[in-house]
């Protein structure tokens, strides 16, 4: 009986070997059934050997934007310009789009730094994102000049604080024209060039925590609606453009200290106290605190992230 038991036991394959064989077979069948996308460049770079010059001298290479061409709408000032500088530091070539006749004074400093210290360039294009033909023509010209199109931050936007009972149709159309249609057409213009040139890319739409919640004491019905639309737009574009290896995500900032908020504080001084108290960190944010998010979403550090919203609000919406 003992010998019979022994021979039976050795004749049967072990459970672990069965599981290994099954898993291997499943992986093989999955690879055969599912089309494999083009491998992001960072996957190859990260698998280089330890003595490779690239991996030995470069830390976190997946955050690099070297040789990437990125458009930043609303890049003439404020958050857009701050994020543009971060992209330049990561190695990107940046083209800023804004309706300002002249960009903010700080733009010249950033452009000089890009040229003299970062080995890159920051170029200004004056146009209104509501002018779709001009927008598409400008983006195509950038792609033709650079031979590629890799990314977008759609940061152009406007704000208006008016009670819903007093809002005019004209003001509402203007708000949605910039914050929704303008964002949509900018993303479309950039994505068209990515598809035409056959290169993958990443698109970032600037939303707001106001697209998720109705801010207590802030009367901005059209603005809040426009930012909710941006969040949904991002998810839909991600679902359509994923097949082209184009990722689309959104960033939802909390209250930011800007020239616009400074003017609001002049009109409503109590907000200097109430706004910081509305989040878990008891303070307002600064544009510089959104630099890392921009680089993360536009680089291969987020290569498997799309259709998502990155909300950076000090915990405002988590109460």
pLDDT of 5 > 70? The answer is: no
Question: Mind listing the domains of the chain with CATH numbers?
Answer: 64-256+286-313 (3.40.50.720)
Residue 306 φ/ψ, nearest 5 degrees: -155, 155
**Residue 215 and residue 224 in contact, taking contact as beta carbons nearer than 8 Å:** yes
Collect all residues with Cβ–Cβ distance below 8 Å to 216 and sequence separation of at least 6. 278
Structure-token pair, residue 27: 């992986």
**Residue 95 bridge partners (DSSP):** 71, 123
Mean pLDDT for the stretch of residues 139-157:
99
C-alpha–C-alpha distance, residues 157 and 178, integer Å = 6
- In which band, very low, low, confident or very high, does the pLDDT at 259 lie, cut at 50, 70 and 90? confident
pLDDT of residue 231 exceeding 50: yes
* 246-253 vs 309-312, strand pairing mode: parallel
Give the Cα separation of 63 and 293 in Å (integer).
Answer: 11
Using a pLDDT cut of 70, give the percent of the chain over it.
82
Q: Say whether 223 sits in a helix, a strand or coil.
A: helix
Residues pairing with 70 in the sheet: 94, 151
Query: What tens digit of pLDDT does each residue of 73-89 get?
Result: 999 999 999 999 999 99
Please indicate whether residue 227 is annotated as part of the active site: yes
What's the confidence (pLDDT) of residue 58? 72
Q: What is the largest CA-CA distance in the chain?
A: 95
With residue 253 as reference, give the H or E element that holds it: strand 246-253
Catalytic site includes residue 124: no
Closest CA to 227 of 183, 174, 161, 168: 183
Interacting residues of 179 by C-beta distance below 8 A, sequence separation 6+? 157, 158, 223, 226, 227, 229, 230
Residue of 66, 68, 124, 223 with catalytic role? 223
Q: Which of 227, 255, 286, 290 is catalytic?
A: 227
Return the structure tokens found at 172. 């509402």
pLDDT per residue as tens digits for the range 190-218: 999 999 999 999 999 999 999 999 999 89
pTM of the predicted model as reported, rounded to 2 decimal places: 0.84
The pLDDT, as a whole number, for residue 57 is 65
Residue pair 237/248 in contact (Cβ under 8 Å)? The answer is yes
């Amino acid at each position: 009986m003992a010998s019979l038991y022994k021979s039976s036991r050795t004749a049967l394959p072990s459970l672990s070997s069965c599981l290994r064989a099954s898993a291997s077979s499943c992986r093989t069948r999955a690879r055969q059934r599912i089309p494999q996308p083009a491998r992001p460049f960072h996957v190859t770079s990260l698998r280089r050997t330890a003595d490779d010059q690239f991996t030995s001298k470069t830390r976190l290479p997946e955050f690099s934007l070297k040789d990437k061409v990125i458009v930043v709408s609303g890049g003439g000032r404020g958050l857009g310009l701050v994020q543009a500088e971060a992209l330049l530091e990561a190695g990107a070539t940046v083209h800023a789009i804004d309706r300002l006749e002249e960009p903010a004074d700080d733009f010249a400093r950033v452009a000089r730094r890009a040229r003299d210290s970062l080995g890159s360039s920051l170029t200004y294009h004056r146009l209104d994102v509501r002018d779709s033909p001009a927008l598409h023509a400008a983006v195509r010209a950038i792609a033709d000049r650079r031979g590629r199109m890799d990314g977008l931050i759609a940061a152009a936007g406007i704000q208006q604080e008016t009670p819903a009972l007093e809002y005019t149709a004209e003001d509402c159309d203007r708000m949605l024209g910039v914050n929704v249609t303008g964002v949509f057409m900018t993303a479309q213009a950039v994505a068209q060039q990515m598809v035409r040139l056959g290169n993958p890319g990443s698109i970032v739409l600037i939303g707001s925590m106001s697209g998720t919640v109705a801010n207590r004491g802030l009367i901005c019905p059209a603005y809040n609606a426009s930012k909710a639309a941006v969040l949904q737009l991002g998810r839909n574009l991600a679902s359509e453009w994923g097949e082209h290896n184009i990722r689309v995500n959104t960033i939802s900032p909390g209250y930011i200290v800007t020239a616009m908020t400074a003017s609001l504080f002049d009109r409503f001084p109590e907000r200097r106290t109430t706004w910081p108290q509305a989040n878990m960190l008891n303070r307002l944010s600064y544009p510089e605190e959104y630099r890392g998010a921009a680089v993360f979403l536009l680089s291969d550090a987020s290569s498997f992230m799309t259709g998502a919203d990155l909300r950076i609000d000090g915990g405002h919406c988590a109460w």
